[in-house]
Amino acid sequence: MDFGFTAEQEKFRQEIRAFLDAELPPDWVGYVAPTTGDHIGSREDGWQVFKDIARKLGEKGWLSLFWPKEYGGQSRSYVDYLIFSEEVARRGSPGYNPVAVKMLAPTLIDYGTEEQKERHLKPIAKGQEFWCEGFSEPEAGSDMGSLQMKAVKDNKYFIINGQKTWSTFADYSDWCCLLARSDPHSRRAKGLSFFLVDLSTPGITLRPIENMAGELHFSQIFFEDVRVPKENLVGRENEGWQVAQALLGYERSSIEFVAMVQSMIERLVKYVKATPGMQTIHARDLLAKLAIEAEIGRLINYRIAWLHDKGMATDWHAAMTKLYSTDLFKRAASAAIQLLGLYGQLDKREDIAPLQGWIEHFYLVSFGATIAAGTSEIQKNIIALRGLGLPRG
C-alpha cells in the first residue's frame, strides 16, 4: 500500500478546504452530530444552511464521487471520497447526508432496479433529496434480526405497520430506507424485506427524541397502514437482510470520527497555547497520545478505502475501523473534558465556556457513537467470526 497521496488528491483536499472557508457562515462553530453527518449546527438557520451547502456540494459533484458515471457519479476512487468526508467532518460542515450519499446510493447501485436508480440517485447526487434509516425498533437495536415491523402484501402494495426509533435526521428527511418482516412465519434474519418509503405517505407520524446534548437529532417513526408500492422493494422479497448488510458495510467506514478527534486536538492545542497555566506535562502527554491514536485511526480508515478500490472484501475490516474510530472518539472526548477541568463542563450558553462549549458538546454526543450502526460488542463479534474465523459458541 502506498501511504502517500497523489498530487491530484492533495489539490483536491485543498479545494475542499477552500470551498468550506468560502461557503460556511463566518460564525459556524461546527458542533458535532451524534453520527458525524447531518449537522444542523444548533442554530435557527441551520437547516437552510444545510440545504444551501448540500446543493453546492452537489453542483461540485462531490456527493457522488465514487459512484459509477452512468449513475451520475465521478467514478473516482474511494480514497478520494474519504478525503472529502474527512475534510467535511473536520470542519463540522453541514450539507452531507451520509445515509443517502455513502450508504443508500451505493446499495441501490448494487441491488436496486433501474427505475429506483433513475428516481433517486440523481436527486441525491444534486443534494436535493435527503434520507434517514429505519432499522432500530423499541425491542430491536443491535439485535436487528428480532425486529417486528410487519409488511403485508396487498395487490400492488405492501401495507406496513410498526415503529422505528433512533432514526437520525428523520425530521428533515424526504425518504426512509427500512427493514420490515414480510414473512410473518419467519424468524431472525429470514423473511425480512428492504423498502424505500416516502415519508410524506399517509399513516406516518414522526416524534422527535431529545439526546443528552439537548438536541432533537433523532426521531421515532410510527407507521399505521402505510401503503408502499411494490416497486419500492429493493432486492428480492424476504431477502432484505443481505441488502441491509451491504448498506451497513458502507456505513461503518468511519474516518469522520477520527477527523473530528483531529479537529478537537487542533482546537485544544490552540487553547492550551493561549491559556496561562495550561502548558503542563499532563497536557503535553495527553495531546501527544491522542495525536498518535488519531493517526492510527486515519491509517486504518484509508487502508479500507484502498482495499475497496482493489475490489477486496471489506466487511470485517469495516467493523474494525468502526470499532476503533468510535472508541477513540469517546476516549478523546473524555480526556478533553478532564483536561479542561470544571470549565470543560460549560456548554454553549455560557460566555466563559472554553471553545464556545464545543468540548462539552463533543463529550455528550460521544457516547452514542459506540452504539449507532452496531455497538462495539457487535463489531467485535464481526471481527472475531468473519475476520479471525472463530466458531460460534
Asked if pLDDT for residue 1 goes beyond 60, the answer is no
Whether 292 and 235 map to the same domain: the answer is: no
Whether 192 and 295 map to the same domain: the answer is: no
Asked if pLDDT for residue 195 goes beyond 60, the answer is yes
pLDDT over 90 percentage in the chain: 65
Asked if pLDDT for residue 298 goes beyond 70, the answer is yes
Would residue 1 count as lying in a domain?
A: no
Q: Which residues, other chains included, contact 262 with Cβ-Cβ below 8 Å and sequence gap of 6+? A: 90, 294, 298
Whether 259 and 300 map to the same domain: the answer is: yes
CATH number at residue 118: 1.10.540.10
Whether 258 and 377 map to the same domain: the answer is: yes
> At 103, is the pLDDT very low, low, confident or very high (cuts 50, 70, 90)?
very high
Would residue 273 count as lying in a domain?
A: yes
* Lowest-confidence region among 76-85, 108-117, 213-222: 213-222
Nearest CA to 325 out of 247, 259, 245 is that of 259
Whether 357 and 257 map to the same domain: the answer is: yes
- The angle, 0 to 180 degrees and rounded to 10, between the axes of the packed helices 255-274 and 281-309 is 160
Whether 382 and 331 map to the same domain: the answer is: yes
The grid coordinates of residue 340 equal 479542561
Alpha-helical runs (H) found in the chain: 7-23, 46-60, 78-91, 98, 105-111, 114-125, 240-251, 255-274, 281-309, 315-340, 358-369, 376-382
Would residue 212 count as lying in a domain?
A: yes
Secondary structure (3-state) at 297: helix
Whether 318 and 199 map to the same domain: the answer is: no
The maximal CA–CA distance of the chain, rounded, in angstroms, is 72
Whether 233 and 253 map to the same domain: the answer is: no
Among 63, 96, 130, give the residue marking a domain's end.
130
pLDDT over 70 percentage in the chain: 97
Distance, first Cα to last Cα, the chain: 36
Rounded to an integer, the average pLDDT of 106-121 is 96
Rounded to an integer, the average pLDDT of 265-274 is 94
Whether 347 and 270 map to the same domain: the answer is: yes
Among 216, 239, 262, give the residue marking a domain's end.
239
Q: What integer pLDDT is reported at residue 177 of this predicted model?
A: 98
Secondary structure (3-state) at 376: helix
Secondary structure (3-state) at 344: helix
Cα–Cα distance measured from residue 288 to residue 206, given in angstroms and rounded to the nearest whole number? 44
Whether 40 and 94 map to the same domain: the answer is: yes
Q: What integer pLDDT is reported at residue 252 of this predicted model?
A: 64
Q: What integer pLDDT is reported at residue 36 of this predicted model?
A: 63
Asked if pLDDT for residue 37 goes beyond 70, the answer is no
Domain count, the chain: 3
Cα–Cα distance measured from residue 140 to residue 165, given in angstroms and rounded to the nearest whole number? 9
Name beta bridge partners: 160.
151, 226
Among 239, 274, 297, give the residue marking a domain's end.
239
The residue range of the domain holding 349 is 247-387
Whether 368 and 252 map to the same domain: the answer is: yes
Count the Cβ atoms, other than its own, within 10 Å of residue 47.
14
Whether 165 and 118 map to the same domain: the answer is: no
Cα–Cα distance measured from residue 89 to residue 71, given in angstroms and rounded to the nearest whole number? 25
Would residue 392 count as lying in a domain?
A: no
Cα–Cα distance measured from residue 97 to residue 50, given in angstroms and rounded to the nearest whole number? 9
